Amino acid sequence: MTALSEAIEVGIVTHNIDTMCHFYGNTLGLAFEGKLDFPGGTMHRYRLGTAVIKLVNYGDETPEQCIPGGGHAACGYRYISFGVADLNSVIAQLKEANVGIAVDVTRFAENIGFAFVCDPDGNWIELFGGC
């Protein structure tokens, strides 16, 4: 296989497109790349470095069920991860914004840690970095 890009794109299907767009664009501060209408739905694209998070809604055909949670909730793709410069500060800001914290800052090496936060649909996002 010959890759067309150096980055991965992650698709998240949601009923709550407006709330999810606000979370990824405003709360997390990811750059809005654009909206793409396609037959049967829409996609809102948010850039994180070279990676893209695609929020997808299929209108009335969007499945009802979302299995929230991280790796212990179900098999399959369960969370996304990205590094941040000051983990403690980022988590404090997200707590101030009433974002759900699934796992608070946990150190796993000297001055390095991770935490898991929840998007509005209950999907987990791992943040890692200096703390």
Domain that holds residue 21: 1-64
Query: What's 55's domain CATH number?
Result: 3.10.180.10
Question: Which of 19, 36, 64 marks a domain boundary?
Answer: 64
Please indicate, yes or no, whether residues 37 and 73 belong to a single structural domain of this protein: no
> Percent of the chain at pLDDT above 90?
76
What is the chain's mean pLDDT, rounded? Answer: 93
Q: pLDDT tens digits for 51-72?
A: 999 999 999 888 878 888 888 8
Please indicate, yes or no, whether residues 54 and 92 belong to a single structural domain of this protein: no
Please indicate, yes or no, whether residues 3 and 59 belong to a single structural domain of this protein: yes
Please indicate, yes or no, whether residues 29 and 81 belong to a single structural domain of this protein: no
Question: Which of 18, 49, 64 marks a domain boundary?
Answer: 64
Q: Are residues 84 and 29 in contact, defined by beta-carbon separation less than 8 angstroms?
A: no
Please indicate, yes or no, whether residues 8 and 56 belong to a single structural domain of this protein: yes
Q: pLDDT tens digits for 21-40?
A: 999 999 999 999 999 999 99
* pLDDT value of position 14: 95
State the Cα angle at 53 between 97 and 13, rounded to 5°: 90
Question: Per the structure, how many domains does the chain have?
Answer: 2
Distance separating alpha carbons of residues 120 and 97, to the nearest angstrom: 12
Please indicate, yes or no, whether residues 34 and 75 belong to a single structural domain of this protein: no
* pLDDT value of position 7: 87
Token pair in block for residue 50: 């070279």
Please indicate, yes or no, whether residues 44 and 70 belong to a single structural domain of this protein: no
Please indicate, yes or no, whether residues 2 and 56 belong to a single structural domain of this protein: yes
* pLDDT value of position 3: 81
